[in-house]
Structure formats: structure tokens, C-alpha cells
């Protein structure tokens, strides 16, 4: 198991946003989280990237417990993420955004950066090589020096994916990779995710509403409702699971 | 329009984009070095003040323009630097030590204000820094034993390697050297992870954090560097005015610094220089035309502050990118001739986050 969540719970006041959820993600798989709005999917993401602290339960990555690691250390552990409503640095260029992705690999000291000593230069060149790799992988060459503010939504989505890849993650968290994309762009996003899995060998956990994309790319799916785990299994198993159908379409509780 | 064809990563890391830049900046420095031989003492003194304000402006630009943290108490750092320099010089320390010490002490003050305000932003941060500025101003007034309070503090003339740094020319050269040094450090900041972390904090704290940026650490560093640079300006300011009074480091001076940043152009080092030119030369320009203005207009009380306010409002309304943004557009207009299109010169309506306070 690359990643494990053990009996994860978080409460905001009286609301149990996530209630006793346990799951594990194998190295190299694409794991999808589905569920109606407010089911707690993004809350689980925010706990994994340590923006929220779980009320109880444990988070284990690569055999190490990281439940209490501060949020800015998560990237260095090897967990990268994207955001539901794109959180790029909009007054910077694509290249600069990707370079910030390399931030957790900075080795040069503050003083050598202030004076731009050779160690800072080496760092910069290494980061640019990494960023160029990602640019080539995602085909972002023509946007390299454009400001984010002037880019179409679909391209920004890909840039955000690229920024997460620049952290050189072992585990990638994608929060609704297809939201705001048209049918064609969603399909392309699906290909990127497959490439990330096959070519880069990165494990992916994603929150996604587009069931077509989920069935296309994911190996296993976990369905949530009201913070509770409903079903976990292959995309087909979960989609046909009676509790899941009831959560989406409604109906009588199981007798 | 000139396009640079990049064939190596080091090309991305040089300070100038191409040799033309190097030539023009070199020429500018050369002219500035020779200027005291051509101009009278008055103009050299004024240019020295422009340099000093440009240094402080660069300091605030790093904090407000790049990190997105508003500071309404920036004059306090200038005051701390000025008094440190004056007091240490009086105690007989050499200038090569007192000037960096002014920067260092101001940087420590920057950390002192940076840490308690880590979780603040926008209006709350503005109020906290305003309070900080008032506290420092009050301390400078009341701490008679050290600052001589309202009696003022005479600043001794320093020497470097036996040469006295005195008069307009002395301050001019000292400020020029420090300005070039500060600009070099700032360019280094902006081309390394430190500067990108600052921009990241400005544009989106939450994703900066997820990319591995330690928000507390980098905000504190931003405050320290900004204050340190302004402390250096303060040390030079002490030399420029020769006689320190505690009430010169008040909120009005802080607002002048903010004007430098906003009128010059948020988010560019050029902007800090343009802004300093504007803030220091506008009063001179008013003085020049004062007697020629119709009626009693030139002698209206409050003419200067209202003109400053007017320019600030016009700038925010019509050119949020400031004088530097306008300069870039003018340059583009000439470079793209004769194939220019109107779209490139449309009114800017997007605002950087730090402008939204």
C-alpha cells in the first residue's frame, strides 16, 4: 500500500464531514472518489494535503504516519495536488508557475539566493530542466511565457496538472480534473491521467463527477455520502451498487 | 519588436534580456556617475533624495507589490534606520559598519512586526502596520535619552577610507551605490525560488502552501528583507537631512511610499524607481510653476497633497500598472509600428491581488 487512511474522521462543530472512512491505495493505480455534493470528497483531499487536521484517524504514506506533518511539508513527502477551482498564480507566466512547483526541491540556502551564488544557479537550471520535461510531456510549449490570466480555462487546467507534476510526486491528488471542461477537453484530460499512470508511474487519487471519465481511467472507485463510505470496488461494481444508486437517484432506505 | 531566441537555461537567468539592455543600463549608470560634474548642488541633492526614496520604494515593492502584504507603517523602518545610523555614528563607529547596522536593526524590527501579523491580510494587516508605525514614531519622540526627542538629533559627517561623505554629492554617490546594490539583491530575489515563493503567496496562499512554500517563514522573510532595505535607505536619509526630527517618520511618509509603489507600478522594480521620481519631483515641479499659475492657485494651501491624491486616483482608475505599465505600452506602440492593433492598448481592468487590499 502506497497510501492508507485509517478510520479518518473530521468534524466541523456538529457536522461530521467525514465519518470513520478507511481506504488504501496501491502503488500505480488510479483511485477515484465519487459522491453527491457535500459527501466529503474534497474534505478528504484537504486532510491528505494537511490543510485540515483530522479529528481522529491516521494518514499513512509510504509506511510513514504523516497525520501531524505541516501542510508545506506534504509536497516534499511526494504528494502533489490540484485544486477544484484552479489555484494558479495568475500574475505569473506558465513557466514561473511550473517552477514554483519545484519549490519543495530547493537546496540552495537563502543567502546564496540573495547573492545568486553558483549553488542557486545550479538549482535554477535543474528546476528549468524539470519544468521543460513537464512542458514537453503536456505539450505546453506554445504557452511557456504567457501569463496565466490570459489563458483559456482548459489550458489553465493542464498547467495546474503540470505544476503538480513539477513537485515530482509519487501520489497525485486531482480535485475534479474535468470540471469546467467541455467533452473533448475532458477526453484529453483522461488521456493525460492515463499517461501519468503508465508513463510516469504516478499513483493518482481523484475526485470526479464525470462517470465516463471515472470508468475510463480508474482502477478502483470509492463512493461516499454524508461523509460515510458507501461502496468501494471496480467502477462497474460501485456504479451498480444499490446504495450508490440510491444516494444519487434517491429512494427508500434498504429494508 | 525584439524577440530573444533562447538556446540555454543561463540565458533565462541573466539580469538583462539581451546586450542592448546591458548597453543602455551601463550608459545610464555612467551618466549618473558623471552627473554631479554637470548639475548644480541643488539638483544633485534632489536626485540623491530620489535614490533614497527609490531604495525604500524597492523595499516596499518587495513586500506589497510582490508578496501582497500591505504596509502602512513603512516609514517606521526608515526612522529606525535613520536613528540607528545617527546614534552609532555619534558613538564613533565607522560608516561601513553603521550603514549595514541600520539595515540589520530595521530588519529585526521587520521580523518583530512580521511574526505577530502572520495570519493577517488586507485591511487588518493595514491597521496593524499603521499601529506599528505609530508606536515607533512615539518611541522616537519620547525616548529622550537616546533620540533627544523633539530637540532633534544632529547627524555627524561619516568618512569612508578617509573620504568624508558630506554634502549633496556625498549623499548622491552613497545612495547610488546602495541603490545599485539593493536592485541587484532584488533581481536575485526575483529570479530565485525566494521571489517565486513571494509571488505565490500573493496570488494564492493555499496553493503556495501545497507547493511546499512555508507561509510563515516566507512572509517573515519578506518583512525582514523589505525592512532591511528600507533601513539602509533610512541610514542614507539621516545623511541627507543632517538633522533628525521624530515627526518626519509619520503616516504621511508611509503613504508617500505606498504612492511610490502604486503610481510607479505594482509588481515591478522599475515601478519603484519611476514612483520615487514622481513622488520627489512633483513638489519641485509645483514649486517651479507656482508663481506662473493663474490667480492664487499656486499658493492654495494643500495643493501638493491634493495633487498627489489626484494622481493616485487617476492612476488606479486608468493605469493600474502605474507609470511603468504606461511606459511599456508606449514602448510597444513604437515597436509594433506599423502593424499595431488597438487590442494591445485597451484599458487594463485586471488588478493584482495586492491592489485590492
**Does B357 have pLDDT greater than 50?**
no
Nearest CB neighbour to A72, from listed B191, B196, B212: B212
Alpha helices in B144-204 (DSSP H): 144-147, 167-191, 193-203
Domains of chain B and CATH, by start: 35-356 (1.10.3470)
A119 Cβ under 8 Å from any chain B Cβ: no
Furthest-apart CA atoms within chain A: distance in Å:
71
> Any idea which of A11-20, B135-144, B301-310 has the lowest mean pLDDT?
B301-310
Compute and round to an integer the Cα radius of gyration of chain A: 19
**Burial tier of B221 (Cβ tally within 10 Å: 0-12, 13-18, 19+):** buried
Alpha helices in chain B (DSSP H): 9-13, 19-38, 41-60, 74-90, 95-114, 122-142, 144-147, 167-191, 193-203, 205-210, 215-241, 251-264, 269-289, 303-318, 322-335
Q: How far apart (Å, rounded) are the C-alpha atoms in residues A178 and B144?
A: 66
pLDDT category at B343 given cuts 50, 70, 90 is low
Q: Which residues of B touch A49 (CB under 8 A)?
A: 210
Pick the closest to residue A3 from A96, A69, A50, A65 (CA basis).
A65
Counting residues of chain A whose pLDDT is more than 70, the rounded percentage is: 98
Beta-sheet pairing, A56-61 with A3-12: antiparallel
**Does A255 have pLDDT greater than 70?**
no
Interface list for chain B against chain A, based on CB atoms closer than 8 Å: 9-10, 12-13, 185, 188-189, 191-194, 196-197, 199-200, 202-204, 206-215, 221, 267, 350, 352-353
Which of A99, A102, A103, A171 should be substituted to probe chain B, the one whose Cβ sees the most B Cβ atoms within 10 Å?
Answer: A103
B193/A81 touch (CB, cutoff 8 Å), yes or no: no
Pick the closest to residue A91 from B330, B230, B325 (CA basis).
B325
B10/A76 touch (CB, cutoff 8 Å), yes or no: no
pLDDT category at B346 given cuts 50, 70, 90 is low
Give the list of residues 6+ apart from residue A14 with CB closer than 8 angstroms, or none. none
For the residues A43-48, what does the mean pLDDT come to?
91
Element at A16 (helix H, strand E): strand A15-25
Nearest CB neighbour to B196, from listed A76, A100, A104: A100
B185 → chain A, closest CA residue: A114
Q: How far apart (Å, rounded) are the C-alpha atoms in residues B236 and B78?
A: 9
For the residues A65-72, what does the mean pLDDT come to?
90
A251 Cβ under 8 Å from any chain B Cβ: no
pLDDT in tens, A84-112: 888 888 888 899 999 998 888 888 888 88
B196/A99 touch (CB, cutoff 8 Å), yes or no: yes
Instruction: Tell me the backbone φ, ψ of residue B324, rounded to 5 degrees.
Output: -65, -40
Beta-sheet pairing, A30-34 with A220-225: parallel
Q: Which residues of A touch B189 (CB under 8 A)?
A: 113-114
Q: How far apart (Å, rounded) are the C-alpha atoms in residues B92 and A102?
A: 48
Half-sphere exposure (Cβ direction) of B339: Cα atoms closer than 13 Å:
2
B200 → chain A, closest CA residue: A89
Contact B172, B48 (CB under 8 A): yes
Torsion angle of alpha carbons A75, A79, A85, A91, nearest 10°? Answer: 30
The nearest CA of chain A is from the CA of B51 a distance in Å of 21
A90 → chain B, closest CA residue: B203
Tally of residues, chain A: 255
Q: Which three cell numbers stand for residue B294?
A: 493663474
Element at A249 (helix H, strand E): helix A242-249
The nearest CA of chain A is from the CA of B56 a distance in Å of 18
pLDDT in tens, B229-242: 999 999 999 989 88
User: Cβ–Cβ contacts within 10 Å for residue B3, how many?
Assistant: 6
Beta-sheet pairing, A64-65 with A79-81: unpaired
User: Cβ–Cβ contacts within 10 Å for residue B4, how many?
Assistant: 11
Nearest CB neighbour to A103, from listed B188, B196, B352: B196
Pick the closest to residue A166 from A197, A126, A194 (CA basis).
A126
pLDDT in tens, B174-233: 999 999 999 999 999 998 899 999 999 998 888 898 898 999 999 999 999 999 999 999
Q: How far apart (Å, rounded) are the C-alpha atoms in residues B106 and A70?
A: 30
pLDDT for A180 equals 86
Q: How far apart (Å, rounded) are the C-alpha atoms in residues B238 and A250?
A: 75
**Does B355 have pLDDT greater than 50?**
no
Which of B104, B192, B217 should be substituted to probe chain A, the one whose Cβ sees the most A Cβ atoms within 10 Å?
Answer: B192
End-to-end Cα spacing for chain A: 36
Taking CB atoms and an 8 Å cut-off, how many pairs form between chains A and B? 112
Half-sphere exposure (Cβ direction) of B274: Cα atoms closer than 13 Å:
19
B13/A124 touch (CB, cutoff 8 Å), yes or no: yes
pLDDT in tens, A106-150: 888 888 888 888 888 888 899 999 999 999 999 888 998 888 888
Q: How far apart (Å, rounded) are the C-alpha atoms in residues A220 and A229?
A: 14
pLDDT in tens, B104-133: 999 999 999 989 888 887 889 999 999 999
Give the list of residues 6+ apart from residue A88 with CB closer than 8 angstroms, or none. A97, A148, A156, A159, A160, A163, B203, B204, B207
- Going by the DSSP 8-state scheme, the letter that residue A69 receives in this structure is S
Domains of chain A and CATH, by start: 1-78+169-189+198-255 (3.40.50.300), 87-168 (no CATH)
pTM: 0.87
Nearest CB neighbour to A92, from listed B12, B193, B199: B199
Give the list of residues 6+ apart from residue B79 with CB closer than 8 angstroms, or none. B136, B137, B140, B234, B246, B248, B249
B209/A51 touch (CB, cutoff 8 Å), yes or no: yes
| CA B262 vs CA A191, B37, B114, B278, B313: distances in Å | 45, 33, 22, 11, 10
**Burial tier of A91 (Cβ tally within 10 Å: 0-12, 13-18, 19+):** buried
B66 → chain A, closest CA residue: A91
**Does B136 have pLDDT greater than 80?**
yes
Contact B139, B146 (CB under 8 A): no
**Strand ranges in A132-234 using DSSP code E only, listed in sequence order:** 171-175, 203-207, 220-225, 228-233
pLDDT in tens, B12-68: 777 777 778 888 888 999 999 888 888 888 889 889 999 999 999 999 999 999 998
pLDDT in tens, A153-191: 888 999 999 999 999 999 999 999 888 888 988 998 999
Q: Which three cell numbers stand for residue B201?
A: 503567496
In three-state secondary structure terms, B149 is helix
Q: Could you give the ipTM of this predicted complex?
A: 0.86
Give the list of residues 6+ apart from residue B339 with CB closer than 8 angstroms, or none. none
Q: How far apart (Å, rounded) are the C-alpha atoms in residues B265 and B258?
A: 11
B197/A100 touch (CB, cutoff 8 Å), yes or no: yes
CA atoms B59, B62, B65, B71: torsion sign = negative
Q: Which residues of A touch B197 (CB under 8 A)?
A: 100, 103
Q: Which residues pair with B159 in a beta bridge?
A: B164
Q: How far apart (Å, rounded) are the C-alpha atoms in residues A84 and A62?
A: 26
Amino acid at each position: 500500500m502506497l497510501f492508507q487512511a485509517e478510520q479518518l474522521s473530521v468534524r466541523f462543530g456538529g457536522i461530521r464531514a467525514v465519518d470513520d472512512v478507511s481506504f488504501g491505495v496501491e502503488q500505480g493505480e488510479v483511485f477515484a472518489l465519487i459522491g453527491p455534493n457535500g459527501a466529503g470528497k474534497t474534505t478528504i483531499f484537504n486532510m491528505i494535503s494537511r490543510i485540515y487536521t483530522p479529528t481522529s484517524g491516521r494518514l499513512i504514506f509510504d509506511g510513514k504516519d504523516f497525520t501531524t506533518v505541516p501542510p508545506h511539508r506534504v509536497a516534499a513527502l511526494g504528494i502533489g495536488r490540484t485544486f477544484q477551482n484552479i489555484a494558479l498564480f495568475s500574475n505569473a507566466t506558465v513557466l514561473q508557475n511550473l517552477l514554483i512547483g519545484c519549490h519543495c526541491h530547493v537546496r540552495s540556502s537563502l543567502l546564496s539566493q540573495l547573492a545568486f551564488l553558483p549553488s542557486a544557479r545550479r538549482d535554477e537550471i535543474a528546476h528549468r530542466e524539470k519544468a521543460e520535461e513537464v512542458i514537453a510531456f503536456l505539450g505546453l510549449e506554445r504557452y511557456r511565457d504567457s501569463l496565466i490570466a490570459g489563458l483559456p480555462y482548459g489550458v489553465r487546467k493542464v498547467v495546474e496538472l503540470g505544476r503538480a507534476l513539477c513537485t515530482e510526486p509519487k501520489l497525485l491528488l486531482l480535485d475534479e480534473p474535468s470540471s469546467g471542461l467541455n467533452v473533448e477537453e475532458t477526453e484529453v484530460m483522461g488521456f493525460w491521467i492515463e499517461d501519468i499512470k503508465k508513463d510516469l508511474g504516478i499513483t493518482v487519487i481523484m475526485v470526479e463527477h464525470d462517470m465516463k471519465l471515472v470508468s475510463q481511467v480508474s482502477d478502483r472507485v470509492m463512493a461516499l455520502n454524508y461523509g460515510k463510505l458507501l461502496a468501494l470496488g471496480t467502477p462497474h461494481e460501485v456504479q451498480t451498487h444499490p446504495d450508490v444508486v440510491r444516494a444519487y437517484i434517491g429512494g427508500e432506505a434498504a429494508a | 519588436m525584439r524577440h530573444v531566441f533562447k538556446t540555454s537555461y543561463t540565458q533565462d537567468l541573466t539580469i538583462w534580456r539581451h546586450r542592448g539592455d546591458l548597453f543602455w543600463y551601463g550608459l545610464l549608470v555612467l551618466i549618473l556617475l558623471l552627473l554631479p560634474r554637470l548639475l548644480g548642488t541643488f539638483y544633485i541633492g534632489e536626485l540623491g533624495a530620489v535614490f533614497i526614496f527609490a531604495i525604500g520604494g524597492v523595499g516596499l515593492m518587495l513586500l506589497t507589490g510582490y508578496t501582497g502584504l500591505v504596509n502602512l507603517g513603512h516609514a517606521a523602518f526608515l526612522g529606525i534606520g535613520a536613528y540607528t545610523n545617527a546614534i552609532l555614528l555619534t558613538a564613533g563607529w565607522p560608516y561601513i559598519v553603521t550603514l549595514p547596522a541600520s539595515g540589520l536593526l530595521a530588519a529585526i524590527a521587520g521580523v518583530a512586526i512580521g511574526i505577530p501579523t502572520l495570519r493577517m491580510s488586507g485591511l487588518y494587516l493595514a491597521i496593524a502596520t499603521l499601529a506599528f508605525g505609530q508606536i515607533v514614531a512615539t518611541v522616537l519622540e519620547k525616548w529622550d535619552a537616546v533620540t533627544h526627542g523633539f530637540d532633534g538629533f544632529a547627524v555627524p559627517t561619516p568618512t569612508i577610507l578617509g573620504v568624508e561623505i558630506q554634502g549633496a554629492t556625498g549623499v548622491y554617490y552613497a545612495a547610488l551605490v546602495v541603490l545599485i546594490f539593493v536592485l541587484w539583491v532584488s533581481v536575485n530575489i526575483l529570479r530565485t525560488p525566494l521571489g517565486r515563493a513571494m509571488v505565490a503567496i500573493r496570488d494564492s496562499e493555499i496553493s503556495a502552501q501545497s507547493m511546499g512554500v512555508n507561509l510563515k517563514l516566507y512572509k517573515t522573510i519578506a518583512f525582514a528583507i523589505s525592512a532591511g532595505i528600507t533601513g539602509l535607505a533610512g541610514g542614507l536619509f539621516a545623511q541627507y537631512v543632517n538633522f533628525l526630527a521624530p515627526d518626519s517618520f509619520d503616516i504621511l511618509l508611509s503613504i508617500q511610499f505606498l504612492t511610490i509603489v502604486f503610481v510607479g507600478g505594482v509588481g515591478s522594480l522599475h515601478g519603484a524607481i519611476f514612483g520615487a521620481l514622481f513622488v520627489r519631483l512633483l513638489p519641485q515641479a509645483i514649486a517651479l510653476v507656482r508663481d506662473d499659475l493663474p490667480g492664487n492657485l499656486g499658493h492654495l494651501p494643500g495643493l501638493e497633497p491634493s495633487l498627489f491624491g489626484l494622481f493616485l486616483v487617476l492612476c488606479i482608475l486608468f493605469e493600474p500598472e502605474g507609470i511603468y505599465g504606461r511606459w511599456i505600452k508606449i514602448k510597444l506602440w513604437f515597436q509594433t509600428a506599423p502593424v499595431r492593433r488597438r487590442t494591445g492598448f485597451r484599458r487594463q481592468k485586471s488588478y493584482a491581488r495586492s491592489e485590492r487590499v
